[in-house]
Amino acid sequence: MHNAIVILQKDPARAQNLVTKVRSVSEAVFIVQSLLELRRLVSQFPIQIGVLDLQLVTFEEIVGLRREGMEIVCTHHTPDDVMWTEALDAGALDCCFDDDGPAICRAIQQTSRPYKRAAS
């Protein structure tokens, strides 16, 4: 079974481009416009992986999503070493350029553990 993936990106065109890229690793791909919309989707559908733009989420929010059982790949239009370190410290699989589909797919493929929703 493929992992369900949610994409939250500041640039809608980049989000749509990522959908076509990550469909190589999962057919279940959703785009959301906000963290609130992501949380609503997660409450209705088991999302295993989030591809989240660091312009729209904080590292603290990433920590919270990780605690809830979601794997995270962070993106940014210009990630640097400090941002990458902070993302990994928050529990992200990687921090990639927001237009680097191959790197994002590789990060997604790092997780092969089955999805397990945290107890509410």
Q: Where are the domains of the chain?
A: 1-17+83-113
Residue 48's φ and ψ, nearest 5 degrees, are -95, -30
Backbone angles phi, psi at 97, to 5 degrees: -60, 140
CB distance 62 to 17 below 8 Å: no
The DSSP bridge pattern shows strands 29-32 and 5-8 to be: parallel
Dmax (CA) for the chain in angstroms is 36
Residue by residue, pLDDT tens for the chain (120 residues) are 468 999 999 999 999 999 999 998 888 999 999 999 999 998 888 889 999 999 999 999 999 999 999 999 999 999 899 999 999 999 999 999 999 999 999 999 887 544 443 433
